């Protein structure tokens, strides 16, 4: 009886999650063809305004060009906020099938993600970034290093954009689950005592560390 009650609870919860998002998804679906022919900024504004109506404190990204399947990819991110992960996943799961867009819950891992140059002049290309593994007890964390820009950049720009790069490289959910603490620095801060690795190796290094704890 208890098992049946729990199953019924989750069934009702799932039904509620789908119904609370269905109206907005229907509006988005009805606008699919017209939005497809707009520029990236207009697509971003359209999806952000409507998705933000379903979910607070989220971040929306739209690919600049269609993927190989002809669809633009729209990522709905919680910006690493684990408390929002279930809601973001439920929202995307409630989306109908789209012919021109693919909606993704949370930033997926992209092993070939290149990074980017921020408008502030901050170089966040993965090939120029490094990490230093840090441990407090069994908790795993990192210090991340990038090249200093010519002009001073506010720390929040370095932190927020740096986290976005890591999300794309190793996956937003993996980052939140496995890396317990982190901070960002410039390579100018490095000394001979820092043991650093290319940021590209971060996921493999993290997986290896957690496997070593199982032995």
Instruction: Kindly give, in sequence order, each residue whose CB lies less than 8 Å from that of residue 4, ignoring residues fewer than 6 positions away.
Output: none
Per-residue pLDDT at 22: 87
Instruction: State which residues of the chain have pLDDT below 50.
Output: 1-16
Short-list 154, 161, 174, 160, CA closest to 107: 174
| pLDDT computed for residue 19 by the predictor | 63
Domain positions in the chain: 2-105, 115-213
pLDDT at 20: 77
Per-residue pLDDT, 214: 84
Q: Over pLDDT 90: what percentage of the chain?
A: 81
Q: What is the pLDDT of residue 7?
A: 40
Global model pTM greater than 0.85: yes
In angstroms, the Cα distances linking 24 to 5, 19, 65, 159 are: 30, 10, 24, 32
DSSP 40-87: HHHHHHHHHHHHHHHSSS-EEEE-SS--TTSPEEEEEE-TT-GGGHHH
At residue 2, the pLDDT reads 40
């Amino acid at each position: 009886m208890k098992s049946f009650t729990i199953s019924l609870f989750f069934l009702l919860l799932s039904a509620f999650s789908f119904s609370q998002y269905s109206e907005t998804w229907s509006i988005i679906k009805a606008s699919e063809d017209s939005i497809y022919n707009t520029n990236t900024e207009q697509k971003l504004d359209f999806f952000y305004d409507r998705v933000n109506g379903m979910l607070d404190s989220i971040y929306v990204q739209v690919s600049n060009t269609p993927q190989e399947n002809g669809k633009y990819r729209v990522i709905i991110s919680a910006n690493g906020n684990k408390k929002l992960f279930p809601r973001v996943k439920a929202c995307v799961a409630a989306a109908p099938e789209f012919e021109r867009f693919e909606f993704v819950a949370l930033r997926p891992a992209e092993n070939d993600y290149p990074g980017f140059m921020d408008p502030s002049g901050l170089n966040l290309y993965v090939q120029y970034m490094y990490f230093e593994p840090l441990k407090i007890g069994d908790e795993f964390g990192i210090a991340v290093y990038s090249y200093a820009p010519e002009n001073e950049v506010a720390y929040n720009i370095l932190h927020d954009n740096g986290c976005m790069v890591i999300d794309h490289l190793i996956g937003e959910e993996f980052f939140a689950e496995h890396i317990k603490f982190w901070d960002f620095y410039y390579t100018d801060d490095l000394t001979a005592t820092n043991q650093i690795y290319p940021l590209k190796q971060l996921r493999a290094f993290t997986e290896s560390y957690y496997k070593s704890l199982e032995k």
